Structure 1
């Protein structure tokens, strides 16, 4: 890893040894497109994870609030962990000690990545210039357990975020980034770099990368069954038939 890090020009905002991976594990385009084709994916994938016994990986939009109505994203997690800066914030501001390193994460981003930040409350972990930089680097959005700011900026450029708080208080001089592309804790969900992030207006779902194909296969079956049931509603099928939970499966011959 050390040789790989040296081959990339870093910003120096965080020590190189605190970057656990220079590139998150990639997910095949076919898998990404399969999840995208589910439409609003979080509800279906949440059900599938329940059925497969995969540990809880879903967070509702009342906790992680979307900043852009109707936004949907599907992509691998590029992770970052912040803590409260371990110096007096007033002295830090006076001496201009900025230890935030999300720009290093942007520097490492590949097209389609989702920045996932284990942040701190009451202080902004990401602002508008940061969002614009991430968008330029190919990120499709961000999930932040903590506060963000500059919502108008990120909305204007079309960079969606899901965050637990909004605040005008800057993270400069107050926040320190301690790790990039290591495991992070997003509310009560542990997320590894390269896990799949799905987010829409209902919430955010994290799928462990080693279970992606299992989840996708069952999610596609459920999505097809739901489409059959919706068509049946439009076609006037009696309710006593519709309430049979296996109606869609029977209709498609499963």
Structure 2
């Protein structure tokens, strides 16, 4: 990863998902995933998306080699968030062994619109992982790796290779890489407004007074409300 990308990720890591979501709202960008829950790992993760798509079927529909979880693990690394679109299927894409291998590669995070298994083992590895489902059902002969590096959908949000992904205790967001600088400016402005509201409250203002002073929520002018 280039020095400039590392510096960009460091700036982005200072901002939580709620602030990113507010910034994207102001710009009309859909970027908050739905139905994806963190299963392991702690704190905030920030990285650039590496995309993959699994197609799914019944037991025996594919060869074991079609699962290709080794290719998924190989795509992980520092500053990378593996985003796997499994169509929301309740079939495991990642388990304990794959998570151990990804953690050995210093993977930033793995996100699956599908399922994982061996949650206790994943938690032991320290890997930050989020998924739609948890199930003991293996992906071997049920899942086939269809593509890598192409656009996917995760939690209802379109994700392209290289998009910014931020995950924390509140949720998971995706910012299109082509609009990242624009959204980052809006997010930093929103963060500054939040800071002024917080400072006003510390200085003894009521919430309404501090919010109005910072133009966070303008003071009511009456009417029906």
Shorter chain as normaliser: what TM range? 0.7 to 0.9
Is 1:200 the counterpart of 2:172 in the alignment?
A: no
Which residue number in structure 1 is paired with residue 132 of structure 2? 164
Which residue number in structure 2 is paired with residue 105 of structure 1? 72
- Cα shift at 1:238: 3.1
The more displaced of 166-175 and 236-245 is 236-245
Is 1:44 the counterpart of 2:19 in the alignment?
A: yes
Distance 2:26 2:213 in 1: 14
Q: Normalising by structure 1, report the TM-score.
A: 0.77
Which residue number in structure 2 is paired with residue 80 of structure 1? 52
- Cα shift at 1:25: 10
Distance 1:196 1:214 in 2: 13
Distance 1:243 1:35 in 2: 25
Write out aligned runs for 1:204-243 (5 A): 204-243=172-211
- Cα shift at 1:235: 2.2
Which residue number in structure 1 is paired with residue 32 of structure 2? 58
Distance 2:130 2:151 in 1: 19
- Cα shift at 1:211: 0.8
Distance 1:180 1:239 in 2: 48
Q: Is the 8 A contact 2:45 2:167 kept in 1?
A: yes
From 177, 181, 187, the equivalent of 2:149 is 181
- Cα shift at 1:110: 3.8
Q: Is the 8 A contact 1:76 1:112 kept in 2?
A: yes
From 47, 59, 71, the equivalent of 1:89 is 59
Distance 2:81 2:156 in 1: 19
Q: 1:122 to 1:184 in 2, by over 3 A?
A: same
Q: Is the 8 A contact 1:25 1:194 kept in 2?
A: no
Write out aligned runs for 1:127-166 (5 A): 127-166=95-134
Q: Is the 8 A contact 1:122 1:167 kept in 2?
A: yes
Which residue number in structure 2 is paired with residue 29 of structure 1? 6
Distance 1:150 1:198 in 2: 24
The more displaced of 161-170 and 240-249 is 240-249
How many equivalent pairs are there?
216
Q: Deviations over 1:72-100 (max 9, x none)?
A: 11000111100114xx62476xxx63311
Q: 1:79 to 1:242 in 2, by over 3 A?
A: same
Root-mean-square deviation over aligned CA pairs = 2.4
Q: 1:141 to 1:240 in 2, by over 3 A?
A: closer
